[in-house]
């Protein structure tokens, strides 16, 4: 059946510098409900990747009913622009999956490119209420909200106490925009206050930030565990040893690692940027602090340490919220988008 064949265009990269991307996660989820998926592109070189994406659209133009295009806000934004224009030329219906946390800036600064890319799309899909709100303010009123979905049976919920030991967990790519050195500063500041505290930072090194983190930790004479890129199963198992999840980013959309931490029962302390305030209600199912504000981060974590009853209420509410992100509840939304 033609409608069951989909071309998914995005950064389908498998290497030591990348975490699983939307194309890999959503693609597998769509395969699980019967869609036959074609993917492009896994080429590391950006020019070759773009050419491969364009070629795939031409190659499968008579085989697929829809093209899904992952749309980011950095340089890969232009990939979505070019692929979408080829789809228009080939009369291929395309769905834009909006992933870039800084896409609102694109709407503001590149209105013409956004218009020729977003307006002809069959559907715009947003994983966050943040982007849904931003796009509506620019006149895109038909964006479909489909959160990043989890298979919740893979996430065992555990209540944790934050008392004698504060064990901080950070899970992200080591990249400048995620401000990883702030996590090291946080470790040092809490340690200097006399608390027993540890920090583990999990993720691949995207832009050389891992070396900067290690150098910063050495300069501050603190020990940071950096096990590198782990599989989802590995980091979920590792999370059993930690009791606070920190998210230090300066730009963001709807980070899957934060949603996963909420599912596991880890209390969240995150910067109040991008889509985070649309995901976390401050003081209700997590704590939000201003970006790059060490003092506020320290105060938030010590608040968790001093108020164990509030932690229990907070993490239970967080788990209840992300239960609405279960794939079994969301799969029909994708079915409707691709019908």
Domains contained in the chain, number: 2
Please indicate, yes or no, if residue 333 is contained in any of the structural domains. Answer: no
Q: Closest by alpha carbon to 107, among 81, 82, 135, 148? A: 135
CATH number, domain with residue 203:
3.40.50.2000
Indicate whether 6 and 102 sit together in one domain.
Answer: yes
Indicate whether 94 and 9 sit together in one domain.
Answer: yes
The domain boundary, picked from 146, 164, 184, lies at 146
Q: What's the confidence (pLDDT) of residue 92?
A: 97
The domain boundary, picked from 113, 146, 179, lies at 146
C-alpha 144/C-alpha 127 separation (Å) is 9
Interval 30-60: pLDDT, tens: 999 999 999 999 999 999 999 999 999 999 9
Domain containing residue 203: 153-324
Q: Closest by alpha carbon to 232, among 259, 199, 268, 269? A: 259
Please indicate, yes or no, if residue 69 is contained in any of the structural domains. Answer: yes
Q: What's the confidence (pLDDT) of residue 15?
A: 77
Indicate whether 121 and 48 sit together in one domain.
Answer: yes
Please indicate, yes or no, if residue 268 is contained in any of the structural domains. Answer: yes
C-alpha 183/C-alpha 188 separation (Å) is 9
Interval 17-36: pLDDT, tens: 778 889 999 999 999 999 99
Cis peptide before 41 (omega within 30 of 0): yes
Indicate whether 166 and 284 sit together in one domain.
Answer: yes
Q: Round the average pLDDT of the chain to a whole number and report it.
A: 95
Indicate whether 196 and 118 sit together in one domain.
Answer: no
DSSP-derived 3-state class of residue 74: coil
- C-alpha pair distances (Å), 64 with each of 2, 21, 85, 242, 250: 6, 22, 17, 45, 38
Please indicate, yes or no, if residue 86 is contained in any of the structural domains. Answer: yes
Indicate whether 294 and 178 sit together in one domain.
Answer: yes
Interval 167-177: pLDDT, tens: 999 999 999 99
The domain boundary, picked from 146, 180, 202, lies at 146
Contact 5, 38 (CB under 8 A): yes
Q: What's the confidence (pLDDT) of residue 85?
A: 98
Contact 87, 299 (CB under 8 A): no
Indicate whether 82 and 199 sit together in one domain.
Answer: no
Contact 184, 222 (CB under 8 A): yes
Please indicate, yes or no, if residue 339 is contained in any of the structural domains. Answer: no
DSSP-derived 3-state class of residue 314: helix
Q: What's the confidence (pLDDT) of residue 100?
A: 86
Please indicate, yes or no, if residue 329 is contained in any of the structural domains. Answer: no
Please indicate, yes or no, if residue 331 is contained in any of the structural domains. Answer: no
Q: What's the confidence (pLDDT) of residue 1?
A: 44
| Residue 77 or residue 305, greater confidence | 77
Indicate whether 122 and 249 sit together in one domain.
Answer: no
Interval 314-339: pLDDT, tens: 999 999 999 999 999 999 999 999 99
Interval 142-152: pLDDT, tens: 999 999 999 99
Q: What's the confidence (pLDDT) of residue 9?
A: 98
CA angle 10, 14, 18 (to 5 degrees): 80
Mean pLDDT of the region 194-222: 97
Q: What's the confidence (pLDDT) of residue 3?
A: 62
Indicate whether 135 and 162 sit together in one domain.
Answer: no
DSSP secondary structure string, 13-79?
Answer: --STT----HHHHHHHHHHHTT-EEEEE---SSHHHHHHHHHHHHHHTTTT-SEEEEEE-SSTTHHH
| E runs forming strands in 82-224 | 94-98, 123-126, 144-145, 165-171, 196-202
Does the pLDDT value for residue 2 go beyond 60?
no
Please indicate, yes or no, if residue 127 is contained in any of the structural domains. Answer: yes
Indicate whether 51 and 122 sit together in one domain.
Answer: yes
Interval 69-105: pLDDT, tens: 999 998 899 999 999 999 999 999 999 999 988 999 9
C-alpha 71/C-alpha 294 separation (Å) is 32
Does the pLDDT value for residue 120 go beyond 60?
yes
Contact 162, 339 (CB under 8 A): no
Indicate whether 179 and 215 sit together in one domain.
Answer: yes
Indicate whether 160 and 296 sit together in one domain.
Answer: yes
């Amino acid at each position: 059946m033609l409608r069951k064949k989909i071309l998914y265009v995005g950064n389908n990269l498998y290497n030591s510098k990348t975490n699983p991307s939307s194309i890999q996660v959503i693609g597998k989820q769509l395969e699980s409900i019967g869609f036959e998926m074609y993917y492009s592109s896994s080429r590391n070189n950006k020019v070759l990747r773009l050419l491969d994406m364009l070629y795939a659209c031409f190659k499968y133009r008579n085989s697929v009913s829809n093209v899904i295009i992952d749309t980011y806000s950095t340089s890969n934004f232009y990939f979505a622009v070019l692929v979408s224009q080829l789809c228009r030329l080939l009369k291929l219906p395309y769905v834009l999956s909006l992933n870039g946390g800084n896409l609102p800036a694109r709407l503001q600064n590149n209105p013409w490119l956004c218009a020729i890319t977003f307006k002809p799309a069959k559907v715009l899909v947003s994983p966050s209420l943040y982007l849904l709100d931003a796009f509506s303010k620019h006149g895109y009123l038909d964006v479909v909200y489909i959160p990043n979905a989890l298979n919740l049976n893979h996430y065992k919920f555990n209540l944790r106490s934050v008392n004698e030991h504060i064990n901080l967990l950070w899970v992200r790519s080591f990249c400048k925009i995620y401000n990883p050195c702030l996590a090291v500063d946080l470790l040092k500041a809490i340690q200097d206050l006399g608390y027993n505290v540890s920090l583990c930072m999990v993720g691949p090194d995207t832009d050389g930030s891992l070396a900067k983190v290690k150098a910063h930790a050495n300069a501050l004479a603190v020990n940071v565990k950096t096990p590198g890129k782990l599989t989802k199963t590995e980091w979920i198992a590792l999370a059993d040893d930690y009791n606070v999840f920190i998210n230090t980013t300066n730009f963001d959309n709807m980070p899957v690692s934060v949603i996963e931490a909420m599912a596991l029962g880890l209390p969240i302390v995150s910067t109040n940027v991008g889509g985070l305030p649309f995901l976390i209600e401050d003081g209700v199912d997590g704590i939000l602090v201003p970006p790059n504000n060490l003092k506020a981060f320290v105060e938030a974590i010590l608040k968790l340490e001093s108020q164990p009853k509030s932690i229990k209420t907070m993490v239970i509410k967080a788990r209840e919220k992300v239960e609405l992100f279960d794939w079994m509840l969301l799969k029909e939304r994708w079915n409707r988008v691709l019908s």
